[in-house]
Each structure stands twice: as C-alpha cells, then as structure tokens.
C-alpha cells in the first residue's frame, strides 16, 4: 500500500467539495418543462406501440400516421427544393435553370414513385405494374393540367366545357 504525500492529501481535500457537488448534481433529478416531458412520453408511447403485436393496432390508423409523416417530410423537401433551385439557377452553368432543376426533380420523384409502387406490392405481374405506373403518370399529368387551368383563372369545369366544344 502506498501512502499519499501531504501535498496530495491536501489537494484532494480541496477537491472534496467539488466531488460532493458532482455527486449531488448526479443524484438530483433534472427539472424538465412540459414540452420535454411530452416529447419523452411520445417517444415512450411510440416505442410501446412498435412492441405491441400488429393485431392490436388498427391498420387504418397506422396508414394515416405514415401518410402524415410522409406529407410532413415532403413539406420539408419542398422548402429545400425552393432554396436549392434558386442556388442551382445562380451558379456558373448556363443550362442550370429552375425549370431544368424541377424537371430533374420530377424525374427523381417519378422514379421513386415507381420503385415504391413495386416495393409495396412485389407480386405485380408485368401488365399490372405497367397499369399502376400509367395511373401514377395520369395523376401527375392531371395535377399539372389542373394547376395550369387555375393559373389562368378558370375552374376545371370551365376547362371541360371548352374542351367539349
């Protein structure tokens, strides 16, 4: 056994108050505000929900929750796209325009939609998968046409009447 020198003993005595304070800090529970407590409770509930069997959780609620999450993620993506498209247009390349950027992103989204469609239903036959892709393409095109029509101050009903004439 090795004995401490007087200087060591004194220096450790001086630290005794620090050590005691550290022990008290560690043993004292942290005071958290309501938001922190709610966030922590949500995390715990989410973890518990994941651990429960799928039979107990209704499938409809799960789909709605996932749809909300995806829509929130897409909203964040939208904000990033606006910033990135503006930066893209101002760089040194002449062919970098907002339109070119949006075309590339539309192609990216189309590819992801096609892949997601295939991944969600692996037993697609070739014809069924092609039909699903055609539905996605038509939905995208219809939305673009709807936006163009409302941009001109028309309603979709007005546009249908014009195309029928």
Q: What is the pLDDT of residues 59-103, one digit of tens each?
A: 555 655 666 688 888 888 888 888 888 888 888 888 888 898 899
- pLDDT tens digits for 127-143? 999 999 999 999 999 99
Helices (H), the chain: 6-27, 34-51, 59-90, 98-120, 126-151, 156-164
Its pTM stands at 0.50
Question: Can you say how many angstroms the Cα of residue 43 is from the centroid of all Cα atoms in its chain?
Answer: 16
Residue 63 CA to residue 57 CA, distance in Å, equals 11
Question: What is the structure's pLDDT at 30?
Answer: 56
The answer to whether residue 149 scores a pLDDT higher than 60 is yes
Residue 55 CA to residue 12 CA, distance in Å, equals 60
The residue-averaged pLDDT of 18-44 equals: 60
107 CB-side CA count, 13 A: 6
């Amino acid at each position: 056994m090795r004995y401490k020198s007087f200087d060591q003993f004194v220096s450790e005595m001086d630290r005794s108050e620090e050590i005691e304070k550290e022990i008290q800090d560690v043993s004292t529970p942290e005071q958290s505000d309501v938001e922190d407590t709610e966030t922590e409770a949500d995390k715990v509930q989410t973890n518990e929900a994941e651990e429960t069997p799928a039979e107990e959780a209704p499938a409809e609620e799960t789909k709605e929750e996932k749809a909300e999450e995806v829509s929130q993620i897409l909203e964040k993506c939208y904000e990033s796209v606006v910033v990135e498209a503006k930066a893209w247009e101002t760089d040194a390349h002449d062919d970098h325009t907002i339109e070119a950027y949006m075309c590339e992103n539309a192609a990216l989204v189309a590819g992801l939609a096609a892949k997601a469609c295939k991944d969600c239903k692996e037993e697609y036959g070739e014809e069924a998968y092609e039909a699903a892709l055609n539905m996605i393409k038509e939905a995208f095109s219809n939305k673009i046409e709807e936006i163009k029509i409302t941009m001109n101050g028309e309603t979709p009903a007005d546009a249908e009447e014009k195309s029928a004439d």
